[in-house]
């Protein structure tokens, strides 16, 4: 079975968010408010799995955390 490309994008986005959050010097409650999340949801973001979040939710959180998110869609290469 092929790997799920959407799950791979969610994992990559979650890793980028976690790396970014390490640079914030805020208490958990302040950080949750900054990102528009509850403290419980922030905890889940910091310790949970990518499956707990939709790709759309992760993109919104990434943008709120100051990250730039880009999506590239290409046609498949011609196969000879």
CATH code of 49's domain: 1.10.260
Token representation of residue 35: 């990102």
User: For residue 30, is it within any domain?
Assistant: yes
Residue 43 domain flag: yes
How many independent structural domains does the chain possess?
A: 1
What local confidence, expressed as pLDDT, does residue 75 receive? 85
State the pLDDT at residue 80.
62
Q: What is the pLDDT confidence band of residue 40, given thresholds at 50, 70 and 90?
A: very high
Report yes or no on 16 lying in a domain.
Answer: yes
31 part of a folded domain: yes
Give the mean pLDDT of 26-45: 94
Residue 70 domain-assigned (yes or no): no
What pLDDT, on the 0 to 100 scale, is given for residue 73?
Answer: 86
43-52, pLDDT tens digit by residue?
A: 999 998 889 9
Asked if residue 42 is part of any domain, the answer here is yes
Is the pLDDT at 34 greater than 60? The verdict is: yes
Averaged over 45-70, what is the pLDDT? 94
Supply the range of the domain harboring residue 42.
5-64
Tell me the pTM: 0.85
């Amino acid at each position: 079975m092929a790997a799920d490309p959407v799950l791979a994008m969610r994992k990559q986005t979650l890793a980028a968010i976690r790396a970014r959050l390490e640079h914030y010097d805020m208490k958990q409650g302040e950080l949750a408010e900054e990102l528009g999340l509850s403290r419980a949801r922030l905890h889940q973001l910091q310790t949970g799995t990518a499956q707990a979040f939709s790709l759309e939710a992760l993109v919104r959180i990434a943008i709120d955390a100051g990250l730039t998110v880009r999506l590239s869609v290409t046609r498949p290469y011609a196969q000879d």
